[in-house]
Amino acid sequence: MKLVRYGRPGHEHPGIVAPDGTVRDLTGIVPDIAGDTLRPEALAELASLDLNRLPAVAAGTRMGACVGRVGKFLCIGLNYADHAAESGMEVPKEPVLFMKATSSICGPNDGIVIPKDSEKTDWEVELGVVIGREARYVSEADALDYVAGYCVINDLSERAFQLEGTGQWVKGKSADTFGPIGPWLVTKDEVPDPQNLKMWLEVDGHRYQDGSTKTMVYGVAHLVSYLSKFMSLQPGDIISTGTPPGVGLGQKPPVYLKPGQVVKLGIEGLGTQTQKVSAYSA
């Protein structure tokens, strides 16, 4: 299944993508694509629906973030060896964990707003993992049983905020619009191997990132198991699993986003995003 949330920002409705590609309305069937709706039993009920009986959503309707009411937005840094190398950092001996503020979350095609006083806003295409069952101390062998599905994430970063001054990563990752998610949450039954997905990102038609999840240092199962040792994971929590090489920071010389540019990115089977860049204005 491909689950979506559509409508005005802050007023999104739940939806599902029918086989013909149209979005069908789930209003009145589930309250949102969030929380308990992502549990295995609830997903099984959605899978049994006759989508032809559901109202169609008008083409061109805005897509919101594909998961609502996200409790934790967890991120893994330096999880591709070649990205660590281009960043001038060593491959970590265990996953590097940080968080993004949930207020950074936006729709997949909403605009990117460069923060006030930013000079180094960067891009990162990443595989998002959406939790579907409460997870505590789960084994790596069982970890994927706790996953509801997957999505595309652009883990936008302001590198000066992240790495200079006091260097706290969360500051460089949490600006409004820095967490586009979607267009769809693709349930795990449609993603037989999350470690074999092509991924890419372009700015103004120039392809900077062209990688695959197969080159992750720590795979999805390991990450879910690892994180569950330090905190419980709840349905609707999201893990952003790291980016392949080709970020702006790694260019020689570095290249960063400017107002007016267009960013496009996607992951095999999980859809694409398109974002126009603008400068912050009060």
Residue 31 lies in a domain: no
Please check whether residue 224 lies inside any domain of the structure. yes
What residue numbers bound the domain in which 202 lies?
69-279
Q: Give domain status of residue 62, yes or no.
A: no
Q: Tokens 């905020």 sit at which residue?
A: 161
User: In the structure encoding, which two tokens stand for residue 108, read together?
Assistant: 């997949």
Q: How many domains does the chain have?
A: 1
Q: What is the pLDDT of residue 90?
A: 80
The pLDDT assigned to 63 comes to 98
* Matching residue, tokens 């999350």: 194
Helix (H) or strand (E) holding 210: strand 206-212
Tell whether 36 is covered by a domain.
Answer: no
Q: CA 273, CA 265: separation in Å to the nearest integer?
A: 5
0.85 exceeded by pTM: yes
CB-neighbour burial class of residue 206 (10 A; exposed 0-12, middle 13-18, buried 19+) = exposed
Q: Which residue is listed with tokens 């970890």? A: 143
Give pLDDT, residue 91: 81
Residue 59 lies in a domain: no
Residues linked to residue 122 through DSSP beta bridges, in sequence order:
157
pLDDT digit string (tens) for the chain, length 282 residues:
999 999 999 999 999 999 999 999 999 999 999 999 999 999 999 999 999 999 999 999 999 999 999 999 999 998 988 777 777 778 889 999 999 999 999 999 999 999 999 999 999 999 999 999 999 999 999 999 999 999 999 999 999 999 998 878 999 999 999 999 999 999 999 999 999 999 999 999 999 999 999 999 999 999 999 999 999 999 999 999 999 999 999 999 999 999 999 999 999 999 999 999 999 997
Q: Within a domain: residue 14? A: no
Pair 263, 274: CB distance under 8 Å? yes
Query: Can you give the pLDDT at residue 182?
Result: 98
* CATH number of the structural domain spanning residue 142: 3.90.850.10
Q: What token pair was written down for 102?
A: 């949930």
Within-domain flag for 39 = no
Q: Tell me, what's the pLDDT at 85? A: 78
User: Of 263, 236, 241, whose CA–CA distance to 177 is shortest?
Assistant: 263
State the distance between the two ends of the chain, measured CA to CA, in whole angstroms: 40
Q: What is the pLDDT of residue 166?
A: 85
The region that residue 199 occupies, defined by phi over 0 for left and psi between -120 and 50 for alpha, beta otherwise, is beta
- What is the pLDDT at residue 171? 95
Over its C-alpha atoms, the chain yields an Rg (Å, rounded) of 18
Sign of the Cα torsion 200, 218, 104, 256 reads negative
Q: Does residue 158 belong to any structural domain of this protein? A: yes
Please report the pLDDT score of residue 83 as a whole number.
79
Q: Residue 92 has what pLDDT?
A: 86
